[in-house]
Structure 1
Amino acid sequence: MTDEQAQPMRNTMDERATMTAEAGTETAPTADLREERFESPLSQRVEAILLIVDEPIALVTLAAAVHAPVPAVRQTLETLVDDYDGRGTGTRRGFELREVGGGWRLYVREEQDDLVAEFIGGQAPARLSQAALETLAVIAYKQPVTRGQVASIRAVNVDSVVRTLLARGLITEMFADSETGAINYGTTDALLEHLGINSIDELPPISPLLDDGTDGFDEGVLR
C-alpha cells in the first residue's frame, strides 16, 4: 500500500480518535460526580449506618448500604471493634460494636448500664404520642413481635417510636430471630406498673377495640 493510499485510512483513524477523546471529555464529569458521592472514608460510612439502625444489620446489607465490597466492610468492622475496645490506644469507648444474631450493632457497654438507666429514669416523663400508644398496644398484644411486623400492622415506619418506647423502659428486646437476626420486642414490668395490672393477660380483649375485630392481628391474640 502506497502512502497516498494509506493517507485516507490514517485520516479516518485520527477522526475516530478525536471523537473518542471528545466523548470521554463529556462523560468524565458525570463519572467524577458518581465517585464524589461516596468519597468519604469507608469507616465513616459504616459508622453512619450503624448509628441509626435499631436492629443488628447483616454484613451483606451493610455492604450494600455503604456501597463497598463485603470483605472491605468486614475488615472495617473489625478495625472499629479494636478502636472502640481501646486496642492500640488503651482507652475504651463507652459503647462497643458487637456481632449479634448474624448482624452488627452498637451497644452501650455493660458497665455503663446503671448510668444510662439512671439518666433515662431521671428524665421528666412526657405524654406518649398517639403513634407511640398504638405501637405499644400492638407490641403488648402481639409480643414477642419484630419491628417489621409492627410496621406491617400499623402500615407506617415505627423506628423512632420503638426507640422512644425502649428509652422509656416500656418495651424491651427479648431475643433475636435465629434465622433473620430480627429483634423481637415485648413489654416490661414497668408498663404493668403504669397500667396497674399484674400480668399482660389482664389487658382487655382487643376485638371490641378494632373496626372489624381482626385487622392486622392473628386469631390467637384476640380474646
Structure 2
Amino acid sequence: MYAEHASTGWRLGSVALRYRQPSAGRGDWSRGGWAKVAGRFRSMLQSVGAAEDVPRGHGPVARSTRLARLEAVLFLSGGPQGSRKLAELACLEDGTRARTLVGALNRLYDTQGSAFRVEEVAGGFQLMTRPKFAPWLRRLHNATVEVRLSAPTMETLAVVAYRQPVLRAEIEAVRGVQCGEILRQLIERDLVRIAGRSEELGRPFLYGTTKQFLQ
C-alpha cells in the first residue's frame, strides 16, 4: 500500500522514469528529452511550493506550516494587524499571501465548526470568537462592564467620526457648546486621537477616531 502523500523525491524520480526511453547508448538521449524532463521538474517544484499553503495530514486539525505561523501571530496579537504586518511577523512573502492565508484559515475554521474566526477590523485582521458564544463568554468573565457614554459625549464622538479629521472649533460649531473637556475624556478612553495639525493660523489640532472606536 502506497502512502497517500508520496515524498517529493519519489514524485520527481517517477517523472524521470516516465520519460525514460529504450536506448542503445548514452548518446541517444536527445536534448528534447532532457528539455521535457527539466520542464516537468520545474512544474513539479512549483506545485510543491504552492502546496505548502494547503493543510496537510489527517484529521480536522491539519495545518500547513505557513498557516500555523499565521494563526499563532493572530492568536498572540493584542489588536488588529494589517496584512503587511502579518506577512512580516509570520515570515510570508507579502500582504497578498497573508490575505490568502487568512481566507484559508477561515475556511478551515468553518469546516471544523470552530469558535474562532479572523475578522477584518479597523483596516487589519484580528482573531475573534464568534458572536454566538458572546453570552457564555460574558458569564465566564463575570459580565464585563460595558462603557457607557453620556448623550453629549456620544454627540461629540459622532461629529468626530463623521467629519474626521476635524478641528475642535468645527466640532463646537456643530454642537453649539464647548467640547474641550469631552474631547479630553474621549482621548483618555482611547476613542478619539489627535490625528495631526491643521495648516490654519496657530496650527490647531485635528481630531479623529481610534482603532478602539472601530472595534
Normalised by the length of structure 2, the TM-score is 0.39
The structure showing larger relative contact order (alpha-carbon pairs under 8 Å, at least 6 residues apart) is 1
